[in-house]
């Protein structure tokens, strides 16, 4: 079990005061996953700007919140002072701004938003731009750019709300949108105006024959475009039945299929997350993709708090077959750490059991020569993940099972005089 040279590497997390901790206690599932101003958050979208994460959500003028750690959130005001005048004229009776989405490109933040009324597809998607998201920045100023796309009764078979903007692997910009009616649509945007590209086609990428489907969100991962949507009903408090579904495609325009190869254009979609006894109507998600972790951001109605829509964030991981999954027992919590770790430790991998990728975390109290290895149940070395000197700090390592068979495996950390072994389970 002596370490030998290795070309594999390990990425050290920055030594910062607020340290992410992933807790694994089933009893925590009844607690809030976040803290601070997390109530009355509906249809959240999320982005990172500087040292902050920002969330924008449905509200009278688009509510804004921010956090340094994805855990504690502060309310920082509204995007607009009033509903844009053009929207009030175009959508009679509009009293709220719904379902924003935020996109960054080349020094500009693009905020897309929805104007509509319940039960009608007389709807508009608008756009506002800014060069910063920090309200304290002297350059902070949201400029409304007006309408992007519209839908009207008797003219369109779709509903122009719930925008989501994504760049494909060729650098083209796309807008997905839609709610009920004929389902989820996709169309290309002009890379200069970030409004509809002249002569662009509108593609149908998901639908339920007029049934409840909305809130698209597209990300690219593992060679596929993944389309997240919400099935069933929101906005009914504890009676909400929202759930998050997903499918994938090799091209952004589709076709999108679920795990059972059913087309999302014909009602297909694989369940990612549904409500439970306390958290009802989980839906309208966004996906935050960071360098060393992906996060599912969504709202749910709290049955223990009169059905109040509440911000929720969970770790999103990717199984060996490429499909996303949520670890129901992993929550973002925060531990105040005003200095470097004062002890050595090795944490339980998560998720566990797993069948694709798992994450292992450890801390070093001093500079040490670190040897980090994985063995099968017979004691045969399977992988050597680290073999080098490392500074004191907090470290994470992602491990893919590759060709491992189902069974029990052990991972061993040796750092100076510290040595510890833990067990993990692979399910294939």
- List, by residue number, the catalytic residues: 43, 214
The CA distance from 420 to 372, in Å, is 10
The CA distance from 210 to 269, in Å, is 15
- Asked if 86 and 146 count as a contact pair (C-beta separation under 8 A), the reply is yes
Residue 272, token pair as written in the block: 């990612």
Q: Can you say whether the dihedral through the CA atoms of 401, 402, 404, 410 is positive or negative? A: negative
User: Taking phi first (over 0 means left), then psi (-120 to 50 degrees means alpha), and beta for anything else, what does residue 119 get?
Assistant: left
Q: Which of 173, 203, 212 is nearest to 185 (CA)?
A: 203
Q: State how far the alpha carbon of 100 is from the alpha carbons of 64, 156, 244, 282, 306, in Å.
A: 11, 22, 18, 17, 25
Q: Which of 293, 291, 310 is nearest to 301 (CA)?
A: 310
- Asked if 10 and 385 count as a contact pair (C-beta separation under 8 A), the reply is yes
The CA distance from 201 to 181, in Å, is 18
- Asked if 66 and 55 count as a contact pair (C-beta separation under 8 A), the reply is yes
Q: Burial letters for 42-61: b for 16+ Cβ neighbours within 10 Å, e otherwise?
A: bbbbbbebeebbbbbbbbeb
Element holding 113 (H helix, E strand): strand 108-115
- Asked if 310 and 278 count as a contact pair (C-beta separation under 8 A), the reply is no
**In sequence order, what are the beta bridge partners of 398?**
359
The DSSP 8-state label assigned to residue 26 in this structure reads: G
The CA-based dihedral angle spanning residues 309, 310, 315, 317, taken in that order and rounded to the nearest 10 degrees: 10
The DSSP 8-state label assigned to residue 134 in this structure reads: -
| Order of strands across the sheet that contains 123-130 | 98-105, 108-115, 123-130, 143-151
């Amino acid at each position: 079990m002596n370490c030998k040279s290795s070309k594999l590497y390990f990425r050290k997390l920055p030594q910062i005061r607020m340290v992410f901790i992933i807790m694994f206690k089933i009893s925590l599932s009844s607690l809030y996953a976040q803290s601070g101003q997390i109530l009355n958050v509906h249809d959240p979208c999320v982005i990172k700007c500087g040292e902050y994460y920002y969330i924008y959500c449905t509200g009278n003028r688009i509510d804004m919140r921010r956090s340094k750690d994805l855990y504690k959130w502060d309310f920082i005001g509204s995007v607009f002072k009033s509903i844009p005048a053009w929207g009030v004229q175009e959508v009679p009776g509009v009293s709220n701004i719904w379902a924003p989405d935020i996109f960054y490109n080349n020094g500009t933040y693009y905020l897309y938003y929805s104007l509509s009324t319940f039960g009608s597809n007389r709807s508009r998607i608008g756009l506002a731009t800014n060069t910063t998201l920090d309200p304290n920045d002297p350059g902070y100023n949201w400029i409304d750019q007006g309408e992007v796309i519209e839908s009207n009764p008797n003219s369109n078979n779709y509903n122009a709300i719930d925008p989501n903007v994504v760049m494909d692997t060729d650098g083209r910009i796309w807008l997905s949108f839609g709610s009920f009616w004929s389902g989820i649509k996709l169309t290309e945007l002009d890379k200069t105006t970030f409004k509809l590209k002249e002569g662009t086609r509108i593609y149908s990428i998901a639908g339920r024959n007029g049934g409840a489907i909305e809130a698209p969100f597209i990300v690219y991962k593992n060679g596929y475009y993944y389309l997240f949507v919400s099935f069933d009903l929101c906005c009914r408090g504890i009676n909400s039945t929202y759930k998050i579904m997903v499918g994938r495609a090799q091209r952004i325009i589709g076709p999108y299929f679920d795990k059972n190869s059913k087309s999302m254009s014909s009602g297909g979609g694989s369940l990612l997350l549904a409500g439970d006894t306390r958290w009802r109507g989980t839906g309208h998600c966004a996906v935050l993709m960071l360098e060393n972790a992906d996060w599912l951001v969504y709202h749910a109605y709290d049955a223990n708090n009169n059905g109040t829509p509440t911000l929720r964030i969970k770790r999103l991981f990717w199984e060996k077959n490429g499909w996303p999954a949520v670890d129901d027992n992993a929550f973002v919590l925060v531990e105040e750490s005003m200095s470097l770790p004062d002890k050595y430790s090795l944490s339980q991998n998560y998720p566990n059991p797993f069948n694709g990728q798992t994450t292992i975390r450890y801390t070093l109290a001093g500079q040490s020569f670190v040897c980090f290895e994985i063995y099968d149940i017979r004691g045969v070395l399977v992988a050597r993940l680290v073999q080098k000197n490392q500074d004191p700090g907090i470290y994470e390592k992602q491990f893919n099972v590759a060709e491992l068979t189902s069974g029990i495996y052990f991972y061993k950390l040796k750092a100076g005089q510290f040595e510890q072994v833990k067990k993990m389970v692979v399910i294939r």
